[in-house]
């Protein structure tokens, strides 16, 4: 009798991440143009000009760091906390008019909620702006918000991401982070998190072990599971 071959084992599906930790500006929402416009308006009030190239150096920074650069390089002769308040207030005004969700962001948030994967927002923007954005998204999409005014050391330090995992009660090494800026990517990776860099206003660097995507529209829950399981995914083409 012919030998009966055993059936090939079914491919295994990677386990879902314990949580997904989202950056906000540039990743979840396309607010970087709002920040750049606010910076240019503020510098212009003080008789200066602020180029797009100068603005790009602020992407992903703690707001106090950005305020110091605006004071030192943009000639904004105001205390740092006043600069932060002015920028934040202007961006909040723009978000109230329209939340510029990144393509695929709401669909991915919905998919994660349906799969039972908790999410945290990890942003260097302050609570006032983060709450405005979250309140206009899917109800209950985020379990917790970690904002720039809640941490001692902002990105690229790992503290914001470590804080998010602690609040969620999950192992930080079982999470996946979604970021757009080199500063944010450095923060997530320093915390030991498998990270997906999504192209926004600044290029996502080529780094060993870093997954990349041209848009969240190319990313689904299964993609994040693969990244969380250790696969490096490249969806930039």
Q: Which residues are catalytic?
A: 23, 25
Helix (H, G, I), strand (E, B) or coil at 216: helix
Using DSSP, how many helices (H) and how many strands (E) does the chain show?
A: 9, 7
Alpha-helix residue ranges (DSSP H) falling in the chain: 32-45, 52-56, 63-74, 80-97, 105-115, 127-135, 159-168, 182-190, 221-228
Which DSSP string do the residues of 77-123 spell out, in sequence order? -S-HHHHHHHHHHHHHHHHHH---BPTTHHHHHHHHHHHT--EEEE-
């Amino acid at each position: 009798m012919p030998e009966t071959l055993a059936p090939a084992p079914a491919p295994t599906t990677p386990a879902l991440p314990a949580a997904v930790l989202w950056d906000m500006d540039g990743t979840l929402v396309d607010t970087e143009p709002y920040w750049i416009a606010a910076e240019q308006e503020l510098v212009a009030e003080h008789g200066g000009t602020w180029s797009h190239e100068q603005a790009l150096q602020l992407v992903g920074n703690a707001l106090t760091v950005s305020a110091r650069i605006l004071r030192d390089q943009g000639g904004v002769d105001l205390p740092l906390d006043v600069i932060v308040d002015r920028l934040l207030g202007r961006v909040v005004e723009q978000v109230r008019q329209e939340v510029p969700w990144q393509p695929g962001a709401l669909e991915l948030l919905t998919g994660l909620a349906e799969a039972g994967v908790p999410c945290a927002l990890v942003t260097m923007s302050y609570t006032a702006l983060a709450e405005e954005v979250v309140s206009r998204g899917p109800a209950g999409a985020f379990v917790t918000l970690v904002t720039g005014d809640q941490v001692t050391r902002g990105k690229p330090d790992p503290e914001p991401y470590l804080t998010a995992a602690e609040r969620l009660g999950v192992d930080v090494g079982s999470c996946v982070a979604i970021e757009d800026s080199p500063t944010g990517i450095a923060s997530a990776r320093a915390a030991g998190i498998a990270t997906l860099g999504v192209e926004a206003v600044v290029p996502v660097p080529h780094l060993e072990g870093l997954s990349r995507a041209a848009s969240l529209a190319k990313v689904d829950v299964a993609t994040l599971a693969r990244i969380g399981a250790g696969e490096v995914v490249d969806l930039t083409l």
